[in-house]
Amino acid sequence: MISKLIKADYKSLIFEFRGYKVMVDFDLSILYGIETKRLKEQVKRNIRRFPEDFMFELTREEKEHLLVTCERLSMLKHSSVSPMVFTEQGVAMLSSVLHSEKAISINIEIMRAFSHYRALLYENNELRREIKNLDKKINTAFRFLLSRIDELHQKKIARKPIGYKNYADGEKESD
């Protein structure tokens, strides 16, 4: 199912939990071509290599959120074991505990996906800044136009009176 992913699809395997961009142990085990149980065994044997900012287990609420967000992980619903998730550094550390050639090549591709993901986030921030600057300019121009319209409404235009003129009082037509 996931083992035939193309490089661009790796980004769809990255989720956000606790402020970290992470990948789920289930996805990683499929990518590496090993059972999830074996991946977790290797991590537990080398637990000192995986501090909290490299790997953590999801809480029950986080697991439920993951299952709602990602339908393809629905088989984890009945699992009594919480999924482990790995940050970019944790995925890199996995290459030191998983020694197969496939694990190494997949790790390289995953690192590229994380890097690409960071670049997209940076581009989004740049675009957001540009939109805010443009919005400020538009607001300034809009305020200027509103003030000009208000000035025109407040300014009284002197007009000649409309209607018949009475020349009986000695006024003469000045045309």
Q: Which residues contact 27 (CB under 8 A, 6 or more apart)?
A: 2, 13
Q: Is residue 168 part of a domain?
A: no
State in Å, rounded, how far the first CA of the chain is from the last one.
93
Q: Is residue 34 part of a domain?
A: yes
Q: Is residue 151 part of a domain?
A: no
Which pTM value belongs to this model? 0.58
Choose among 93, 80, 7: nearest CA to 48: 93
Q: Is residue 135 part of a domain?
A: no
Q: Is residue 131 part of a domain?
A: no
Instruction: Tell me the pLDDT tens digit for each residue of 133-152.
Output: 877 888 787 778 778 777 77
- Exposed/middle/buried for residue 114 (C-beta within 10 Å: 0-12, 13-18, 19+): buried
Q: Is residue 124 part of a domain?
A: no
Q: Is residue 90 part of a domain?
A: yes
Instruction: Tell me the pLDDT tens digit for each residue of 39-85.
Output: 999 999 999 999 999 999 999 999 988 888 888 888 888 888 889 99
Q: Is residue 171 part of a domain?
A: no
Which domain does 29 fall in, by range? 7-118
Number of domains in the chain: 1
Alpha carbon of residue 170 to chain centroid: 82
